[in-house]
Amino acid sequence: MLLHLDFHSEIPIYQQIRNQIVLGIADGSLGVGQRLPTIRALAQEAGINMMTVSKAYQLLKQEGYIQTDRRSGAMVAPQPGAGPRAETMEALRLHLSELRLAGVGREAALELCARLYDEEG
């Protein structure tokens, strides 16, 4: 469980943690049922506040990506496949528009999307 945090980024740290765990689940490096590090361990390893890690875990739990068990900590939840969130769709619309305005053609954009979708660790 190696996190790459950028303390100079404009993305909040708790969000960076959340994003990297989501990416880890998607690319297979975090399997269903696998236990995540404890809040304390992750905070110490990354040199950040426990509250920050806690916030990330709460967010992931609320979004259904992980489950918490009082005895054994947090683990990757079976992914329900509930269909995309509205926010995800809106973000995709925006970023695909930016892609087009940046001069990326239709074919190139779709190839890029396919590559990013397929990505596995």
Partner DNA sequence: GTGGTCTAGACCACC
Partner DNA sequence: GTGGTCTAGACCACG
Interface contacts to a second copy, rule CB under 8 A: 7-8, 12-13, 19, 22-23, 25-27, 62, 65, 67-71, 79-85, 88-89, 91-104, 106, 109-110, 112-114, 116-119
User: Candidates 21-29, 44-52, 88-96, 104-112 — which segment interacts with DNA by CB under 7 A?
Assistant: 44-52
Distance of CA 32 to the CA centre of its chain: 14
Among residues 22, 96, 29, which one has the least CA distance to residue 64? 22
C-beta separation of 23 from 116 below 8 A: no
Q: Please, what is the minimum distance in Å from the beta carbon of residue 116 to DNA?
A: 25
Binder to DNA among 68, 77, 99, 113 (CB under 7 A)? 68
Which of the choices DNA, a second copy, none does residue 4 contact, using the CB cut-off of 5 to 8 A by kind? none
Give the count of beta carbons closer than 10 Å to the beta carbon of residue 30. Answer: 22
C-beta separation of 84 from 64 below 8 A: no
Number of residues binding to DNA, judged by CB under 7 A: 24
Binder to DNA among 28, 31, 32, 40 (CB under 7 A)? 40
Angle between helices 39-46 and 50-62 (to 10 degrees): 130
